[in-house]
């Protein structure tokens, strides 16, 4: 008999930015923006931000512990915040923007406290880790306009995430950036040409165009999960093609007029690597065809997902 779903709750500053990191992960069924930790029932956004109710902006996550462990969710939470800021997060100041992990049982408390101690001892930050570890209380769902904001208003969301300072902080503290010299040494000439110089590999003469094994495809540089074999199909173009990405939040689209064509280029946000292009002639309901260079990808077979740190994607297979 499978275990029942569990709840996790986190405050990480603006709740708009705390949905997308968790929203598309296998094993997570729902991410709700809301308010918790205060003393007034059913507070409004305006009341919470008057700093008079004691609430935090937070997200409540419903997850299947057999598909994604709580530890993995906590690890991902840390990577969205500045855990040393006790007055808010980035440009958002005030008590409603403080950070906290709200535990629902003794096991969650133990994992959260151990994770916080590990981060404190890591030396990543010179200042103390001030994120609270607190018992979960009533959680009040925020107004509908705040739910899934990153999907409803992607332009404003991305503008806000950059403008607030959150995106640059995450890149500086949580993402490992390799120098150009390191990349030249680690990548093959073709991989470097594709990812750093917007190159294109030959069709039908690349590693994954007709690859059929089950597993996921990750960014060759950052290791971020990008695509699944479950969404891969033969488009007849000679490059690996997918109907959708694993996490849309990890991809960046831009208009490309190079070579006298009008196309939508796809880049990986973390590594800023050129991946390929997306077209509107795919077989899926939204018609998307992600045409990706094999040289920008590394394949992780389903048998090695746990070994390589991608256990949450095992449930796809």
Is the Cβ–Cβ distance between 35 and 57 less than 8 Å? yes
Is the Cβ–Cβ distance between 250 and 301 less than 8 Å? no
Residue 276 backbone dihedrals phi, psi, to 5 degrees: 165, -140
Beta strands in the chain (DSSP E): 6-12, 28-36, 56-63, 88-89, 92-93, 99-103, 132-135, 139-141, 215-219, 225-228, 232-233, 241-242, 251-256, 263-268, 274-279, 289-292, 297-301
Residues serving a catalytic function are 14, 291
Residue 225 backbone dihedrals phi, psi, to 5 degrees: -70, 130
Q: Which burial class, exposed, middle or buried, applies to 138 when counting CB atoms under 10 A from its CB (0-12, 13-18, 19+)?
A: middle
In whole angstroms, what separates CA 107 from the centre of its chain? 25
Strands 99-103 and 132-135 turn out to be parallel
How far apart CA 12 and CA 83 sit, in angstroms, is: 9
* CA nearest neighbour of 267 among 211, 196, 201, 210: 196
Could you give the angle at which helices 166-173 and 154-163 cross, rounded to 10 degrees?
A: 60
């Amino acid at each position: 008999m499978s275990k029942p779903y569990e709840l996790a709750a986190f405050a990480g500053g603006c709740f708009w930015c705390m949905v997308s990191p968790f929203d598309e992960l296998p094993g997570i069924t729902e991410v709700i923006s809301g308010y918790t930790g205060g003393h007034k029932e059913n507070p409004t956004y305006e009341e919470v931000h008057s700093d008079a109710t004691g609430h935090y902006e937070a997200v409540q996550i419903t997850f299947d512990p057999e598909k994604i462990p709580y530890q993995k969710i906590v690890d991902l939470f840390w990577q969205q915040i500045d855990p040393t800021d006790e007055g808010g997060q980035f440009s958002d100041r005030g008590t409603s923007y403080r950070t906290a992990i709200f535990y629902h049982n003794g096991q969650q408390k133990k994992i959260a406290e151990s994770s916080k101690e590990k981060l404190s001892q890591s030396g990543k930050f010179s200042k103390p880790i001030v994120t609270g570890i607190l018992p979960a209380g009533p959680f009040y769902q925020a107004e509908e306009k705040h739910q899934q904001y990153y999907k409803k208003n992607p332009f404003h969301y991305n503008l806000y995430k950059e403008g607030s300072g959150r995106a640059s902080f995450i890149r500086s503290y949580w993402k490992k950036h390799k120098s150009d010299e390191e990349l030249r040494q680690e990548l093959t000439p073709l991989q470097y040409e594709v990812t750093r110089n917007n190159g294109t590999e030959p069709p039908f003469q690349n590693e994954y165009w007709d690859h059929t094994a089950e597993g996921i495809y990750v960014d060759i540089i950052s290791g971020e999960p990008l695509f699944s074999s479950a969404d891969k199909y033969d488009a007849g173009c000679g490059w690996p093609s997918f109907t959708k990405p694993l996490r849309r939040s990890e991809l960046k689209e831009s208009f490309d007029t190079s070579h006298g064509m009008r196309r939508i280029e796809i880049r990986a946000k973390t590594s800023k690597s050129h991946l390929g292009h997306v077209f509107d002639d795919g077989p899926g309901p939204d018609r998307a065809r992600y045409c990706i260079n094999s040289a920008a990808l590394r394949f992780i077979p389903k048998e090695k997902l746990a070994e390589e740190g991608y256990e949450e994607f095992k449930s796809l297979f």
